[in-house]
Structure 1
């Protein structure tokens, strides 16, 4: 089987909301990826809170789709190159106003668009490696670690990962 050509990915992570798309006033459009490899799922350590989350981030104006944003975020936050396998659909924000405020004074609500992706290459260094780590884990462990983030848990439940 021929190896897939990887898009050029920058070692600079995008920051800020200057180029951010919004669903409506104060609601980010977020592309997120849930990575499947055999019976494990990729999770990445959040820099803003202690714990594990899925790679996700804003869909920016120069990106053609939420899918492209999801693949970029998987690269920046977890050091993986990926290819979309399945569109898991939209998930509305499920955090309380209090939980959102913990993200910062200007943290908006979000509308998530989740994708299941296949890893095409895993790198040893990536743009946010200095503040994030990655770990492969079983469905049961991922479910347990996402218990306080229902919008992420819903993406996990929609995925085709083996649930035993």
Structure 2
């Protein structure tokens, strides 16, 4: 990614959708070089910990490009994508879907964090923290799609 923007993208105008109308979401499982820790970020509400993820946009050639952008915007990290963890369907029942949180399809990538910047687009509303597998699994327990991505990664158990 040549030169990181200090502006986080907003809105859904550029959002990609799948064949069933689901929002395509890309994210990373950001691991330490030795694969003993995963970096989680605070959710936008600040009430929980999540993996960096967001909408894959039309001007991004690949879901991996979108995932790296989200890692930068939300976590202030520069990542190297290591492997595709494949699609994870949205586990929420139809009753839990809303206009602001429509059905999604998640594409996660395992990535190695190569740099942590001290300033990033969403620094004012998110913190980041390294966790072990056991800690992260507990923190992500309420988000089955994020927990599944974590389990598919090669983070040391």
TM-score bin (small chain): over 0.9
> Counterparts of 1:17-96 in structure 2 under 5 Å?
17-24=12-19, 26-37=21-32, 38=34, 39-48=36-45, 50-96=47-93
What TM-score does the superposition give when structure 1 sets the normalisation length? 0.90
Answer yes or no: is the 8 Å Cα contact 1:95–1:149 preserved in 2.
no
* SS of corresponding position for 2:18: strand
Residue 25 of structure 1: how far off its partner (Å): 5.2
Q: Is 1:129 paired with 2:126?
A: no
Deviation at 1:96, TM superposition (A): 2.9
Structure 2's unaligned 5+ residue stretches are none
Q: TM-score, normalised by structure 2?
A: 0.93
Aligned residues: 155
User: 2:67 is paired with a residue of what secondary structure?
Assistant: helix
For 1:98 and 1:133, locate their aligned partners in 2 and report how far apart those are by CA, in whole Å: 31
Unaligned runs of 5+ in 1: 1-5
Partner of 1:22: helix, strand, or coil?
A: coil
For 1:97 and 1:130, locate their aligned partners in 2 and report how far apart those are by CA, in whole Å: 33
2:6 pairs with 1:11: yes
Q: Is the 8 A contact 2:85 2:152 kept in 1?
A: yes
Whether the 8 Å contact between 1:26 and 1:108 is mirrored in structure 2 is no
